[in-house]
Amino acid sequence: MGSIYNLGIFGGNKTGKTLLAEAMLYGAGMIDRMGAVSEGSTTMDFDEEEIKRQMSISLSTGYIKGGKNKVMCIVDTPGYMDFIGEQIAGVEAADNAALNISADEGVSSGDEKLWEIISGKGKPACMFINKLDMPDISFDKLWDEMESAFGKKLLLVTCPLYENGKLAGVANLLDGKQTNDQSFQKYIQRSMDVIAELDDALMEKYLEGEEIPFEEILKHIKQGVIEGRVIPVLSGSAMSQTGIKEFTQFIFDYMPSSEELAPLKASASDGQDKEVARNEGQPLLGIVVKTVFDPFAGKLSYLRVFSGKLKSNSQFLNVTKNTKERVGQLLRMQGKKQESVPEAISGEVVAVAKLSSAEAFDIFCEQGNPLTFAVTRPPEGAVSYSIKPKVKGTEDKLGNAINKIAEEDPTIKVFRDDETGETIIAGMGDLHIDIAINKFKNKFGVEVEKGIPKIAYKETITSPADAEGKHKKQTGGRGQYGHCYIKVEPLPRGGGFEFVDEVVGGAIPRQFIPSVEKGIKEGMKKGSLAYYPVVDIRVRLYDGTYHTVDSSDIAFQLAGILALQKALQQGSPILLEPIVNVEIRVPQDFVGDVIGTVNAKRGKVLDMISSGRTQVVKSQVPLAEMANYTNELRSITSGQGTYTMLFSHYEVVPAHIAQKIIDERKKEKEQQ
């Protein structure tokens, strides 16, 4: 087989990534006609939701067959930050990354966040400036903005040429052809400055005015891209096909093939580090990029091969699950169209049907040679809702759908909240969850109702308390008798629960001590304030009495419950609420407004960090205040702000708010 060039296309929402992939496929003769997002006819956006919403919501793949037996695998990713899981999967799947910048929008906070992920994985990367045929574009202004965001390593490869204010084509700074366009001449000088920085001997020739051979420039640019010392930038318009062939050819000429990249750093089963060269002579090693469930075709898994050779009708070991998988026919995907292939080598992304246990981000390898490597995991969901089936009797169907949706998308979590009794769906944003809920209906035939989840408050005490619990019942025949004395003390926040046995002299027989503890744990499920679970207490059992005939396990459990209930009432009980770490990314202009929202939500700003032109505001906010923050943030930042949220700890609810919660909770209980 020939060389595989693997390219992931990334960028913010509505920047034209899918159309860029479409234009590349059309320009290379891989598809017969150029599709349009507005018509729902593009190769990469084929999902029903994508066509309806006119936006990418999941990763998709395609390929271009080049000259000299070269193949380019294209991984197209969504731009909306709600789909960060698909974007991270794309970074894991891709050897090279292309960041697509929209000329009319400039560099967005989403672009910068994606660039941070790409750079963090050390991916060789280039950029494509799209939509340069839009009116009133200032290329010089855009270039300055990009240098401000991404640094001085930018190397302009194709410069836009305008005639009468309209995009007429691009000039390639690397093909040696001259043009009198003043902008072109200015950027040639800038680009040569960047190229000369790549090598001392090159710099010397450049400073002395020597002509540098084209082959030498090519060699140094490719090496500079691999090492991350230069970021090539190409320009044009996917809509008008301007600069597309130049971009495609640049990937084949200047970006590294899979084999040209450094060996993959892996770990063997004995813990020893191992370097695995990216060629077909090495052991098989790869990653499951994503899983898709089709109502008709069943489960389809996308596999990325890093080394070795994966063959149709073979087997491999899923290292993550420690299970063997039987592989059927390998499929090279062009959007949703399938082409059967006999094998896949390093750099290729192929699909296979009906793997039994494989899920996104699972690592696979040869049987008998277990290897693994570091994988970036997607973040936890920031937004959650309660769900329940609309139609009674469809609970089993919903359960089956939940398992499949969670398998398709690792950033969707569905779980039962034992403290509130609700089924909770958590995701990266409102749009993300809306699409998941639509999948329940459209893919799996079960409709669900979405509600706001209840906050999982907890209770504790602030002062020590001493209490007695006695359960005594005589109903003819054998009675029930259990009697205990306990001291309850508050523990530091996060301390959980401690049980201390201080009974001496056999006041309570040994076999009933665990019964008291069991009763106390049961009693902790409902506090005295608002029936929320009790946390952060130490219970000392120090005395009690028993009856030789009537004492029993259940009697001492009930005594423990009674004692705890009294102690909680005497221990100055308080309500606790969950606090989350919130990381908000916004352009500089919106920082003041964002800090205002954090303060209004009883939050605390902990830190502010600059990331290019974006500011990252790190804060802690009560979870109860974060409902609908996705929409609020988008409103105040004109859609440019994003955030992530992760549970941190519990804190005391302010008294005036606690009283409202307690009153509402008691009202609910009375109605029940």
Q: In what order do the strands lie in the sheet with 337-341?
A: 323-327, 314-318, 363-365, 285-294, 298-307, 349-353, 330-334, 337-341
Name every residue whose Cβ is closer than 8 Å to that of residue 307 and which is 6 or more positions away in sequence.
Answer: 264, 276, 277, 278, 279, 280, 282, 283, 284, 285, 286, 346
In a domain, 661, yes or no: no
Contact 386, 452 (CB under 8 A): yes
Note whether 252 and 72 are within 8 A (CB).
yes
Question: Is residue 660 very low, low, confident or very high in pLDDT (cuts 50, 70, 90)?
Answer: very high
Do 60 and 160 fall within a single domain? yes
Q: Determine the 3-state secondary structure of 628 from DSSP.
A: coil
Give the separation between CA 376 and CA 84, rounded to whole angstroms.
12
- Predicted local confidence at residue 66, as pLDDT: 87
Do 198 and 229 contact (CB within 8 A), yes or no?
yes
Q: What is the CATH number of the domain that holds 615?
A: 3.30.70.240
Residues 282 and 358 in one domain: yes
Q: What is the pLDDT of residues 364-389, one digit of tens each?
A: 999 888 999 999 888 766 577 889 88
Which pLDDT band holds residue 564 (cuts at 50, 70, 90)? very high
The last residue of one of the domains, among 259, 274, 300, is: 259
Contact 254, 221 (CB under 8 A): yes
pLDDT at 154 over 90: yes
Question: Does the structure show a pLDDT above 90 at 514?
Answer: yes
CA separation, residue 586 to residues 476, 605, 614, 628, 641 (Å): 73, 14, 6, 17, 5
Question: What's residue 178's pLDDT?
Answer: 62
Same domain, 389 and 345: no
Least confident range from 28-32, 36-40, 208-212, 384-388: namely 208-212
Stronger pLDDT, 444 or 291, i.e. the higher one:
291
Beta bridge partners of 28: none
d(CA 338, CA 324): 25
Per-residue pLDDT, averaged over 411-421, amounts to: 77
pLDDT at 420: 66
Say yes or no: 559 and 617 in one domain.
Answer: no
* CA 65 – CA 29 distance, rounded (Å): 9
How confident is the model over 209-225, as a mean pLDDT? 79
Claim to verify: residue 468 and residue 530 sit in the same structural domain: yes
| 49 within a domain of the structure (yes/no) | yes
Instruction: Please report, for the domain that includes residue 215, its CATH number.
Output: 3.40.50.300
- Going by pLDDT thresholds of 50, 70 and 90, the confidence category of residue 414 is confident
Q: 8-17, 192-201, 658-667: which range is least confident on average?
A: 192-201
- Distance of alpha carbon 599 from alpha carbon 121, whole angstroms: 35
Same domain membership, residue 232 and residue 84: yes
CA 350 to chain centre: 22
CATH number at residue 507: 3.30.230.10
Q: Is residue 429 part of a domain?
A: yes
Mean per-residue pLDDT, 298-318: 94
Q: Please state, for a pLDDT cut of 70, what percent of the chain lies above it.
A: 96
| pLDDT, average across residues 147-155 | 89
Decide if 320 contacts 363 (C-beta within 8 A): yes
| Confidence at residue 504, expressed as pLDDT on a 0 to 100 scale | 92
Name which of 25, 122, 12 is nearest 77 in CA terms. Answer: 12
Give strand ranges (E) for 209-268.
231-235, 264-268
Q: What is the pLDDT of residues 433-482, one digit of tens each?
A: 889 998 888 888 888 998 887 787 899 999 999 999 999 987 767 789 99
- Ranking 135-139, 253-257, 307-311 by mean pLDDT, the lowest is 135-139
Local structure of 103: helix, strand or coil = coil
What's the mean per-residue pLDDT of the chain? 89
* Angle (CA) 362 435 299, round 5°: 40
Q: Are residues 162 and 245 in the same domain?
A: yes
Could you give the C-alpha distances from 495 to 267, 413, 460, 568, in angstroms and in order? Answer: 37, 27, 11, 17
Is the pLDDT at 16 greater than 60? The verdict is: yes
Q: How confident is the model at residue 665 (pLDDT cuts 50, 70, 90)?
A: confident
pLDDT given for residue 452 in this prediction: 80
Answer with the one of 345, 372, 399 that is the final residue of a domain. Answer: 372
The residue assigned the tokens 């169209």 is 337
Residues 339 and 468 in one domain: no
Instruction: Name the token pair of 225.
Output: 């891209």
Q: What is the pLDDT of residue 167?
A: 92
667 in any annotated domain: no
Please report whether residue 670 resides in a domain: no
Domain final residue pick, 318, 343, 372: 372
Between residues 379 and 42, the one the model is more confident about: 42
Contact 462, 655 (CB under 8 A): no
Domain that holds residue 542: 459-571
In a domain, 294, yes or no: yes
Total structural domains in the chain? 5
pLDDT confidence tier of residue 213, bands split at 50, 70 and 90: confident
Domain containing 351 — which CATH number?
2.40.30.10
Q: Residues 605-622, buried b or exposed e (16+ Cβ, 10 A)?
A: beeeeeebbbbbbebbbb
Is residue 366 in some structural domain? yes
Residue 96: pLDDT over 90: yes
What average pLDDT does range 114-138 have in this prediction?
93
Tell me the C-alpha distance between 131 and 266, whole Å. Answer: 41
pLDDT value of residue 629 = 87
pLDDT in the model for residue 515: 96
Mean pLDDT of 291-309: 89
pLDDT exceeds 80 at position 40: yes
Confidence band of 177 (pLDDT split at 50, 70, 90): low
**527 & 444 share domain:** no
- Strands (E) in 431-568, as ranges, are 448-451, 458-461, 465-473, 480-490, 497-501, 537-545
Same domain, 468 and 514: yes
Which residue carries 């205002």 as its tokens? 596
The answer to whether residues 229 and 109 belong to one domain is yes
Q: Give pLDDT, residue 88.
A: 94
pLDDT tens digits along 591-609: 999 999 999 999 999 999 8
Q: Which two tokens stand for residue 420?
A: 């509130």
Same structural domain for residues 250 and 268?
A: no
- Tell me whether residue 496 is in a domain: yes
